[in-house]
């Protein structure tokens, strides 16, 4: 809206804005403008500076607060009886907010206005010739699902309130009705809209907070992995490679994004429990004795204890706890079998074996990818989940082989922990 008491200048600015493609209206003084702003929806007001005296600027402050608060601004009134059409119009104008109202004499005219305009509420008579209020509502809400409707009728006994609401209306009024009833109906709809908007904003904030929490937790995973890498150089490449293989297995199995994320993160810390095992055991180049091997086998439980109190949205701690369990119950630490083992843990268990056997160890050279695939194929359904093995065998060998530039690290885990 352009506000200028010199109409010539107001019209000139209007023409310039219209040439730029903007819809524009002109008000001649600062008394006309606030009322029109309240009744219509404007995105910008351009006003002559000398027109706005301090005492006349206050209406704008009031209008700005009012426009920010209103959720229903434009109303379309539809009735084939002119007297009732004008009655509803006058009632709407008497409501404090001073809604901007348009009129339609039938359903077809109303639908055309709805398509060409932008309305927050339609007040329509049910009984109209040729195109009923219910038919109008259904056609309009097919185009604009959130458009609110109040249906009115002088034949109330013919309708059940619940049927009208189920058809899509926000409310229902019987003729005759008074200003207070109409105002209350519109106020209730506006209150519901405000609650829904608040819920949407809250959900958006929760979603953003949840996304931020996931980023923090992923950073925590990376920090834990880095801490273990400083103690056991072998683990750095191993955990990353296991993560890559496990995620590819999961994709081949058609798992959800959430499951794949859990597998990726759990893989990156599946050996975090080894941070508590003495370095001389992890780096020992010869066979471990029974006591040493017992300490190494505790890394799954220790990893669980480290992770269990962190509120991951994925079962990271349980996956880490179970990644050495086997289908026949011969694994550790709990001796679980079959479906007692989380699918994510079964996947990481297979990826862990494949990566370990195909990589260099200080006590042996790499056994190669063929030996690794032979191992999981021979024990398919015995030690390893058959579906997981099949999905692993679908991966191209080049994606399973360790980086050729990777040489045998000087520090590594104990031999028995990778059997």
| pTM of the predicted protein model | 0.52
Q: Is residue 218 part of a domain?
A: no
Q: How many domains does the chain have?
A: 3
- The vertex-264 CA angle with 260 and 267, nearest 5°, equals 130
Q: Is residue 143 part of a domain?
A: yes
Q: Is 130 left (phi over 0), alpha (psi -120 to 50) or beta?
A: left
pLDDT, tens digit, for every residue of 193-249?
A: 877 777 777 777 777 776 777 777 778 887 777 777 666 666 558 888 999 999 999
Q: How far, in Å, are 104, 148, 151, 240, 299 from residue 231 at the CA level?
A: 78, 64, 73, 16, 14
| Domain match, 167 and 262 both | no
- CATH number of the domain where residue 136 is located: 3.40.50.2300
- Which are the catalytic amino acids? 274
Q: Is residue 213 part of a domain?
A: no
Q: Is residue 401 part of a domain?
A: yes
Q: Give the residue from 21, 44, 69 where a domain finishes.
A: 69
| Domain match, 323 and 248 both | yes
- CATH number of the domain where residue 276 is located: 1.10.3210.10
Q: Is residue 205 part of a domain?
A: no
Q: 61 is in which domain, residue-wise?
A: 2-69
| Domain match, 306 and 161 both | no
| Domain match, 84 and 64 both | no
The distance in angstroms from the start CA to the end CA of the chain is 78
- 3-state DSSP of the chain: CEECCCHHHHHHHHHHHHHCCCCCCEECCCCHHHHHHHHCCCCCCEECHHHCCHHHHHHHHHHHHHHHHCCCCEEEEECCCHHHHHHHHHHHHHCCCCCEEEEECCHHHHHHHHHHCCCCEEEEECCCCCCCHHHHHHHHHHHCCCCEEEEEECCHHHCCHHHHHHCCCCEEEECCCCHHHHHHHHHHHHHHHHHHHHHHHHHHHHHHHHHHHHHHHHHHHHHHHHHHHHHCHHHHHHHHHHHHHHHHHHHHCCCCHHHHHHHHHHHHCCCHHHHHCCHHHHCCCCCCCHHHHHHHHCHHHHHHHHHCCCCCCCCHHHHHHHCCCCCCCCCCCCCCCHHHCCHHHHHHHHHHHHHHHCCCECCECCCCHHHHHHHHHHCECCCECHHHHHHHHCCCHHHHCCCCCCCCCCCCCCHHHHC
Q: Is residue 124 part of a domain?
A: yes
Write down the pLDDT at residue 53.
46
Q: Is the dihedral of CA 170, 174, 175, 177 positive or negative?
A: negative
Do 95 and 179 meet the contact criterion of CB atoms below 8 Å apart? yes
| Domain match, 7 and 104 both | no
| Domain match, 113 and 188 both | yes
Write down the pLDDT at residue 65.
44
| Domain match, 254 and 346 both | yes
| Domain match, 248 and 123 both | no
Write down the pLDDT at residue 54.
42
Q: How far apart are CA 84 and CA 89, in angstroms?
A: 8
Q: Which residue has the tokens 């600027």?
A: 57
Do 36 and 1 meet the contact criterion of CB atoms below 8 Å apart? yes
| Domain match, 272 and 411 both | yes
| Domain match, 84 and 65 both | no
Task: Kindly state the tokens that stand for 322.
Answer: 């179970």
| Domain match, 314 and 247 both | yes
Q: Is residue 207 part of a domain?
A: no
C-alpha 337: how far from chain center: 36
Q: Give the residue from 11, 43, 69 where a domain finishes.
A: 69
CA max distance for the chain: 100
Q: Give the residue from 31, 50, 69 where a domain finishes.
A: 69
Q: How far apart are CA 334 and CA 250, in angstroms?
A: 24
Write down the pLDDT at residue 406.
44
Q: Is residue 225 part of a domain?
A: no
| Domain match, 321 and 377 both | yes
Q: Point out the residues of the chain with pLDDT beneath 50.
A: 52-68, 404-419
């Amino acid at each position: 809206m352009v506000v200028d008491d010199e109409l010539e200048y107001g019209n000139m600015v209007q023409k310039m804005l219209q040439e730029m493609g903007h819809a524009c209206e002109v008000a001649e003084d600062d008394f006309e403008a606030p009322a029109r702003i309240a009744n219509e929806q404007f995105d910008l007001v351009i006003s002559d500076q000398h027109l706005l005296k301090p005492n006349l600027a206050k209406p704008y402050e009031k209008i700005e607060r009012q426009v920010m608060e209103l959720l229903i601004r434009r109303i379309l009134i539809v009735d084939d009886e002119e007297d009732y059409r004008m009655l509803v119009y006058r009632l709407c104008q008497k409501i404090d907010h001073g809604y901007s109202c348009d009129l339609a004499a039938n359903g077809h005219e109303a639908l055309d206005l709805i398509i060409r305009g932008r309305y927050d509420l339609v007040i329509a008579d049910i009984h109209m010739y040729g195109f009923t209020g219910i038919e109008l509502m259904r056609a309009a809400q097919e185009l604009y699902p959130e458009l609110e409707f109040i249906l009115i009728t002088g034949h109330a006994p013919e309708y059940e309130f619940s049927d009208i609401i189920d058809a899509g209306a926000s409310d229902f009024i019987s003729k005759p009705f008074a200003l207070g009833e109409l105002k209350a109906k519109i106020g209730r709809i506006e209150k519901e809209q405000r609650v829904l908007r608040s819920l949407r904003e809250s959900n958006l904030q929760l979603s953003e907070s949840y996304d931020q929490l996931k980023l923090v937790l992923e950073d925590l995973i990376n920090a834990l992995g880095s801490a273990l890498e400083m103690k056991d150089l072998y683990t750095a490449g191993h955990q990353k490679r296991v993560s890559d293989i496990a995620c590819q297995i999961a994709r081949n199995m058609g798992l959800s994004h959430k499951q794949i994320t859990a597998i990726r993160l759990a893989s990156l810390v599946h050996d975090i429990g080894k941070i508590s095992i003495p370095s001389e055991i992890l780096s020992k180049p010869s066979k471990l004795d029974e006591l040493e091997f017992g300490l190494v086998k505790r890394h799954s439980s220790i990893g669980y204890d480290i992770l269990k109190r962190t509120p991951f949205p994925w079962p990271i701690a349980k996956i880490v706890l179970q990644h050495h369990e086997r289908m026949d119950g011969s694994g550790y630490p709990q001796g679980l079998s079959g479906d007692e083992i989380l699918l994510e843990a079964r996947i990481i268990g297979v990826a862990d074996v494949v990566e370990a056997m195909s990589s260099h160890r200080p006590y042996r050279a790499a056994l190669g990818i063929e030996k690794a695939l032979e191992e999981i194929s021979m024990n398919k359904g015995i030690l390893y989940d058959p579906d997981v093995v099949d999905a692993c065998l679908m991966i191209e060998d080049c994606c399973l082989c360790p980086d050729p530039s990777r040489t045998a690290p000087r520090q590594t885990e104990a031999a028995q922990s990778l059997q």
